[in-house]
Structure 1
Amino acid sequence: MTHQPPSQTTDAPLSAEARLQALEAQVRHLQVAATQASALFDAAPHAAFLLSLQGRVLDVNTRGAALLVSTPQALTGRHFTPLVAPASQATFTALLGWTFEGRGRQTGEVQALLPDGQVLDLVLEAALQRREGAPDVCYVTATDVTAFKAAHRTLLDVNQAQARQLQDQRQRLQRLEEEFESVTLLAIRELNAIVTRAANFLKLVKPAPVGGAPLTHAQEALEQTRELLDALKGYMRARTMRTRIRGVDLEKVLREVLKDLQPQMARRDVQVTSAPLPVLQGDSQVLQLLLHEYLSNALKFTRSRPQARVRLLVQETDTEYRVGVEDNGVGFNLRQKDKAFELFGRLHPGGMYGGIGLGLAVVRRLCERFGGRAWGEGKPDQGATFWFAWPKVPGTG
């Protein structure tokens, strides 16, 4: 057998000339990459800086130099810290340090000083760039928010000025309201005194056969005036009533109200029934006034019935209780439901049922004061139901 020599698998070493050509190719490639990176950095759509660990400007693009009213040549090699206002230098130093510590992207707000003394508000965003075979650098972008900050300060100033104006207006309105209430109560007191003197004078006058009727009419007018003044006084007191939120058992309130209304139910066939009444969070005075007005209203408009039937209804939702007082009285046209709650609003002629027309207005006012509502439902000659909705978490009153 003939033995063949083993094949040669090892490549021959490159010549010195080939190695030199390879190195030159790598250098050209690196130069092209560096040129492209520099072009991308300079053409970036935002102001950009490359900073060393000590805060020295290693490079800056055209937008960055223009932002600081300088040139890339003038800024390169300078420390960035002196370009920052003294009050912001601690913020900038911390931002730079945290970036080089590898804490990730950092953002901070500083003020920069321009050569002409102008101050810019800048938002800086810094990120660490690691370079093989070279020290790490901090890539910083700067966004000018001076105009935004100025607009924000202007808006704050305007808001503060408006808040002061609103506060002044509220105080003036409060003083005017207190003055109005004081004058009204004083006028009611004085008018009551005048009406009382006139009524006492009429009692002393012996009506003659001819003049009796006019004197009787005058006496009735004085009584109506007294009733009006008493109603106004009650309305004004309801407006200024001091209240306290606490648990109020409506069952107890109803018993007290029925005691007060005994004179209206005397010598009449009146039946008052009620669903189980809840405990409400509210003021006992206010809730007593609401039930008193609704029940008194029901008794008044059932006077023409041989048997008066009054029933208290309760409905509950997630946010409120609705309490209604239903009667079998004369009712009213539902198209006039809002008129009953207006000041001096009447659903029926005053001569038939009396009253001034302030009671239900007080009810609505007090309900709204605590975040509730008041309304009525009815049909002519088929009775009526007056409701109030009371929130489970009422307002301050």
Structure 2
Amino acid sequence: MSLWRASMPDRLPAWVPVVGPALLGTGDALLVNGVDPGRDLGLSLLAAVALLWRRRLPVTAFLATLPGMYLTYIWLAPMIALYTVAARRPDRWLLAGTGLLMAAAQFVPYPAAELAHADRRETAVNLVDAFVVAATPIALGLLTRTRRELADRLDELTRSRAREDRLLADRVVATERARLAREMHDVVAHQVSLISLQAGAVQISTEDLQARAGARTIRELSVRTLDELRHMVGILRAAGADTEELTPQPRLSDLPRLIELSALDVTFEDGSDPRADRSEAVERAAFRTVQEALTNVRKHAPGSKVRVRVIEDERSGLLVEIRNGPADSAVPAPDLPGGGHGLVGLRERAQSLGGTLEARATREGGFVVRARFPREGR
């Protein structure tokens, strides 16, 4: 039900649309025929009473009003009945037939023999008047039906828009979950693995039993935290696809600080132009690529030498390469858990920006991660 029709009972009692037309038809019958009992008054009152069934039986109610119109010249009951037919039964042939019947009842006098003696000019005027009288309720009925259909359509569009808004809100929530999953993996895993690495170094180097026990506890908690984080990342990534990144985010200018805190033997070659006009998404992706690669070096190649290169030119865009040698057997592996989402997420991020990411083992026993990004991204 449309909003317009739903608000009708708030303005009018439910019986008014049913009884009101019948009361108007009764008033018209009394004004035309007076209060003296007779055939004319009976037919007029019959037409008024027939309006009580105009919604359920619109055509029957209209036909019941025609004798009163033809014999007693009442107008309101037939016009209301024809209006109802047009509003509820908009069949073109039905409207044409009922309209012609009403025009004939209006045009043909009673008795019909008087039509032959009428003046031609007067006859033409009466014919036009009859068609106008018949066309008016049909036009109003069709207009009302059209208005009701438009109100229903608008109501349906409103509900459809509300459903789309809810779906969009759910999509946004899913996207935020996926973004959070990526950030948890890139940021938290990096920091926790660094804590675990430092705790392992303290555990090996210190002679204090209490400090060694504390370092072992820190390392165990770090490993447990990363394991739980891996499970949470899997749940959040399954909730939706990620597109944009959360803010604030690191840029290329933050790479020296990241390398300084990595506790790795890193050689950094920065060939980027600090004045270049790069998109924030590209700079964040480049930073996350280096961050994830250094985390993987700590996990899988402890003690290896690492070289980080950032090269930039106008034609090929931004190149980020992280290359590490084989692991040092003298350095114990930190035994940190991995969720397997790091390189997958980096490749998805690069592709979403119109770039590429390559990750492979080298002949020397190390590993190389190479990513290319356009300056602007998609």
Could you state the TM-score of these two structures normalised by the residue count of structure 1? 0.36
**Structure with greater strand share of residues:** 1
**Structure with greater helix share of residues:** 2
Could you state the TM-score of these two structures normalised by the residue count of structure 2? 0.38
Whose relative contact order is higher, 1 or 2, with alpha carbons under 8 Å and at least 6 apart? 2
